[in-house]
């Protein structure tokens, strides 16, 4: 084999390696673009350590959502509670406040009660007779989860943020 033939084979191997790298980069970009999403909204009870948060996570684009309620009464407690059946892109949950530190929540036709002292949480078997004043609502609007207070003065603070699944 002469020197020219060896050079041509070497160039072919380099070109194949470059093509393989390009394909790997394109595949990686496609996989990252297919990642799901993550959404967070919260409301505090005056003290930043006293809060309710809803997190919605989607493993892959257009997949089902996993919805979790986080009850925080720090430094005493912080607990996560899955909200089964809340897998569609549409989500609303009314937040009632019968007394400080106690919340009654309504998502679809399911009622829950939670409190910030011990971070307890349970579902009601029947709707509560007096859920208390409506404090606000967790809702998805324009593709983003947010907490919307009924009146700005009632809710100490509320916030929402959203991040793409690829940057979790």
| Claim to verify: residue 43 and residue 115 sit in the same structural domain | yes
| Claim to verify: residue 17 and residue 57 sit in the same structural domain | no
pLDDT digits (tens, 9 = 90+) for 77-87: 999 999 988 77
For residue 25, the enclosing domain spans 1-33
| Claim to verify: residue 135 and residue 72 sit in the same structural domain | yes
| Claim to verify: residue 57 and residue 80 sit in the same structural domain | yes
DSSP state, 80?
Answer: E
Number of domains the chain is built from:
2
74 CB contacts (<8 Å, ≥6 apart)?
49, 50
| Claim to verify: residue 104 and residue 117 sit in the same structural domain | yes
Nearest to 42 by CA among 118, 108, 103, 124: 103
| Claim to verify: residue 17 and residue 41 sit in the same structural domain | no
pLDDT digits (tens, 9 = 90+) for 45-85: 778 789 999 999 988 888 888 999 999 998 999 999 999 88
| Claim to verify: residue 79 and residue 122 sit in the same structural domain | yes
State the pTM of this model.
0.68
């Amino acid at each position: 084999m002469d020197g020219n033939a060896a050079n041509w084979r070497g160039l072919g191997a380099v070109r194949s390696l470059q093509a393989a790298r390009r394909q790997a980069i394109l595949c990686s970009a496609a996989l990252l673009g297919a990642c799901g999403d993550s959404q967070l909204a919260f409301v505090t009870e005056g003290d930043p350590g006293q809060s309710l948060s809803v997190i919605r996570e989607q493993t892959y684009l257009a997949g089902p959502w996993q919805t979790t309620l986080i009850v925080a009464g720090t430094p005493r407690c912080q607990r996560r509670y899955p909200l089964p059946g809340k897998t569609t892109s549409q989500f609303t949950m009314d937040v009632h406040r019968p007394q400080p530190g106690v919340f009654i929540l309504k998502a679809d036709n399911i009622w829950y009660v939670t409190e910030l002292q011990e971070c307890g949480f349970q579902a009601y078997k029947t709707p509560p007779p007096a859920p208390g004043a409506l404090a606000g609502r967790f809702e998805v609007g324009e593709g983003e989860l947010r907490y919307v207070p009924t009146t700005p003065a009632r809710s100490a603070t509320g916030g929402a943020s959203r991040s793409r699944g690829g940057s979790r």
